Amino acid sequence: MNQVSPNNMTPLSPLDRAAILLLSMGEENAASVIRKLGRREVQAISKRMANIANITKNDVADTLTTFFDRYRNESGVNGASRLYLERALDKAVGRRLARGMLDDIYGGAMNDDLHRLEWIPPELIVRFLEQEHVQMQALFLAFLPPEQAAAIISLFPESKHDDLLYRIASLREVSEHVMDDIRLTIEACIEFVGRQVGAQVNGVDKVAEIMSRYSGNKSHIIEVMKMHNNDVGDAVQERMYDFNSLTLQTDEVLAKLLNDIPDEMWIMALKGTNKELVTRLLSSLPKRLAQVYQQQIEALTAQPVSKVEAARKEIMNIVRNMSKSDEVDYKLYQEETAE
């Protein structure tokens, strides 16, 4: 089937398509192809490359998509991977155009996850989205089928409907950086739903969560657990590396953690956290440096909750490793003191 240029509605000839393909490759790659052509072919394609005009981005995308479709169907090679083509096309035509073409060839990068979301009850998706910033809620809903998006919006408080719909209507072009955030949010939603509908209970995780809120003698509880089963006691203690446990640390420990862990990780992790924790952390720093941290936290725009949680989890993994290697004396709970 002939491709038709939307500019003049005339079909692109095979020579047009060959010229577009070579022009999209860059000089070195085009030269490698031209070396394989005969004299007449070189003359014809060179003349067409020099004179071709009024070619749109859609013409380029259609031409390259057709080329790769035929390559996959007719070559003896069993289809290039998406990653291979993504790298090759990024160099040839740029990341933005390459992404659209690859989505056409392989299906959208998020299609599989979006199809899985269609089976999830709207109530569960709303429970997840309530944790996200309203702009991420709008972006998330914009990628869903209209029927599903409408069902989800109807479950939000009516006072939020206008804002959500306005934000969706205001969307024009979503940057690649934001697309990555949306993919991360969709994955987090699927993981969240899996936890909600599952029947399994992780006793160790549950006890660790209870212990983090327990106001009694935590040290005694851990000791009793270890008397019953040392492995269980150790497992519970391991899970108690909670982000809020940072408030229990000395200024010396906090200063070392802030110095050894990258600033950008702290800024992301502290976004949206309670003021008590931020104040406790920054109090361990010199006043001027604490002010810089505070300014960076306030300057950071709204972030997906999943991204903030990922930063906090990574920090606590680092803390756990530093504690195990005795680099810091990290306290998981407030120990009882004798007077």
Question: Where is average pLDDT lowest: 99-103, 260-264, 268-272?
Answer: 99-103
Report which of residues 223 and 143 the model is more confident about.
Answer: 143
Alpha-carbon torsion (89, 93, 98, 102), positive or negative:
negative
Model confidence at 6: pLDDT above 50: no
Across 301-308, average pLDDT:
86
Please tell me which residue, 1 or 114, carries the higher pLDDT value: 114
User: Span 69-98, mean pLDDT?
Assistant: 61
108 or 101, higher pLDDT? 101
Answer whether residue 221 shows pLDDT above 70.
yes
Mean pLDDT score, 11-31 = 85
Q: HEC string of the chain?
A: CCCECCCCCCECCHHHHHHHHHHHHCHHHHHHHHCCCCHHHHHHHHHHHHHCCCCCHHHHHHHHHHHHHHHHHHCCCCCCCHHHHHHHHHHHHCHHHHHHHHHHHHCCCCHHHHHHHCCCCHHHHHHHHCCCCHHHHHHHHHCCCHHHHHHHHCCCCHHHHHHHHHHHHCCCCCCHHHHHHHHHHHHHHHHHHHHHHCCCCCHHHHHHHHHHHCCCCHHHHHHHHHHHCHHHHHHHHHHCCCHHHHHHCCHHHHHHHHHHCCHHHHHHHHCCCCHHHHHHHHCCCCHHHHHHHHHHHHHCCCCCHHHHHHHHHHHHHHHHHHHHCCCCCCCCCCCCCCC
Q: pLDDT-based confidence at 93, cuts 50/70/90? A: low
| Rounded average pLDDT over 292-302 | 89
Q: Which residue has the higher pLDDT, 269 or 173?
A: 269
pLDDT digits (tens, 9 = 90+) for 228-264: 888 877 777 777 777 888 888 899 999 899 989 998 9
Q: What was the pLDDT predicted at 228?
A: 83
Mean pLDDT, the chain, rounded, equals 79
111-197 and 241-324 agree in CATH topology: yes
Reported as a single tens digit per residue, the pLDDT across 41-63 is 888 888 888 888 888 888 888 88
| The CATH number of domain 111-197 is 3.30.930.10 | no
148-204 pLDDT, tens digit per residue, is 999 999 999 989 999 999 999 988 776 767 777 888 888 888 888 877 765 455 677
- Quick one: pLDDT at residue 104? 57
Question: For residue 70, what pLDDT band results from cuts at 50, 70 and 90?
Answer: confident
In the prediction, which pLDDT does 171 show?
Answer: 84
In CATH terms, the fold of domain 241-324 is Annexin V; domain 1 (1.10.220)
pLDDT in tens, 310-325: 999 899 889 988 888 8
Is the pLDDT at 213 greater than 70? The verdict is: no
Instruction: Output the pLDDT for position 74.
Output: 59
Residues above pLDDT 90, as percent of the chain: 14
pTM: 0.41
Which amino acid would we find at residue 119?
W
Domain coordinates of the chain in residue numbers?
Answer: 14-106, 111-197, 241-324
Is residue 106 over pLDDT 70?
Answer: no
Residue 85 has pLDDT above 80, yes or no: no
Identify the pLDDT of residue 266: 93
| pLDDT at residue number 1 | 44
pLDDT for residue 77: 47
Q: In this predicted structure, what is the pLDDT of residue 128?
A: 92
**Residue 244 to residue 332: CA distance in whole angstroms:** 10
